[in-house]
Amino acid sequence: MSGIGSLLARKWLWSYLGAAAVFGIIAAVSQNSFFTLSASISFATFYILVGIGQMLVITTGPGNIDLSIPNTIAFSGSLAFALMNENNANIPYGLLGGLAAAAAIGAFNYGLIRFILMPPMIATLASSLIVRSLSIIYFRGMQIKPPAGLAWFVNYRLAGVVPIIFLFVLVLAAMMQLILARAQYGRYIHAIGQNIKAAWLCGVDVKRYKLITYTLSGVFAGVTGILLAAFTGGATMSMGDEYMLNSIAVVVMGGSSIAGGDSNVIGIIGSSVLLYLIVNLLNILGMEAGLRYIFTGVVIIGIIFLSGEKMRR
């Protein structure tokens, strides 16, 4: 294939075309559409972060999915802010503590999958109940305020338009793309996702790479938790709730294979912006929360239906 044909064959392109189309509709129905776009990009940043973590897990093969992301977000965000105690000098300790907790949750998830032999979906869901309980016990479900320095950083916009965290996440995404395409870790998790038995027979240390993957998913959720909590003015118990299903949605919409073995970082950026633009459009059009849920579900199923993807079982 060549020219336009090969360009359209790239699955990630569709999410960018979709984002452009939705932005066109927003421009038609609202006056300050560029403000909407800028705000959407800020929030899309968090979708990209959790999306990359979720994508790594999904890439390791059928059935692998991390449903503990929402509670990891809430717990690590709360822990980081509790350690920072609204003091700029404590920011490094807070970051370290929050991310270490997030990594531990990820590793614990894999421990359950590995030693109790349960499907990742069930293991991560059950462990997230425990994490939620810990959040309630330690942080009493209160809103914990961020230190001023961190709040300033996440709200800073270059030239008043481009959110700096968006650029930060773009750099992170570029790094992940490189790692997935070129580094040993990336090649191995693709191999595991495509044919776990073949990868294992070739000598890939499947357990080790899966442990790294689940830990990374936790870390990405932890970064999200800290940035999101700073962005929204404080860590709360329920701040991660919408990310469980949306993290899966952006991976699927971004052109990664839900069957694993085929990742796509570029697509996640496009689909995250698209998903948040859709949310904003539905808000502008005055749709109720219930309809937004239905719409998201229809989009997920519709994309799976249209993608024509078939999967080994």
Partner 1 sequence: MVRPLDSRKEGLARYTETLVPAISLLVVLLPIVYKQPNLISPDRYYATLTMTLAFGIPIVLASLGQMLAMSIGEIDFAMENLVSLVTCVMGAVMFKDPLLGTAFLIGILAVYMLIGAFIHLKKLPSIIITIGMSFIWTGLAITIQPTPGGSMPAAVNAAMRLRPPWIPYPIVLAVLLALIGHFLMFKTNFGILARGVGDNVKSIQQAGHSAIRVRIMVFGLVGLFGILSGVALGGLTTSADPLLAKNYTLLSVAAVVLGGGTFAGGKVSAVGAVFGALAMHLVVHLLVVLKISTDWQAGVKGFIILLALYIGGFFKRAGKIRYI
Binding residues for partner 1 (CB under 8 A):
62-63, 65, 112-114, 116-119, 121-123, 125-130, 132-134, 136-137, 196-197, 199-200, 206-207, 210, 245, 248, 252, 258, 288-298, 300-301, 304-305, 309-313
Smallest gap from Cβ 30 to partner 1, in A, equals: 24
Smallest gap from Cβ 189 to partner 1, in A, equals: 14
Rank residues 150 and 253 by Cβ distance to partner 1 and give the closer one: 253
Residues in the chain, total = 313
Nearest CA among 26, 42, 10, 148 for reference residue 89: 148
Rank residues 165 and 248 by Cβ distance to partner 1 and give the closer one: 248
Phi-psi region of 32 (alpha: psi -120 to 50; beta: other; left: phi over 0): beta
28 is written with which tokens?
Answer: 């038609």
Rank residues 130 and 161 by Cβ distance to partner 1 and give the closer one: 130
Q: How far apart are alpha carbons 194 and 41 in whole angstroms?
A: 33
Decide: 10 and 254 in contact? Cβ < 8 Å.
Answer: no
Q: How far is CA 32 from CA 26, 28, 136, 163, in A?
A: 9, 10, 40, 17
Rank residues 20 and 142 by Cβ distance to partner 1 and give the closer one: 142
Strands 162-163 and 157-158, bridge-based pairing:
antiparallel
Smallest gap from Cβ 143 to partner 1, in A, equals: 17
Smallest gap from Cβ 49 to partner 1, in A, equals: 20
Smallest gap from Cβ 199 to partner 1, in A, equals: 8
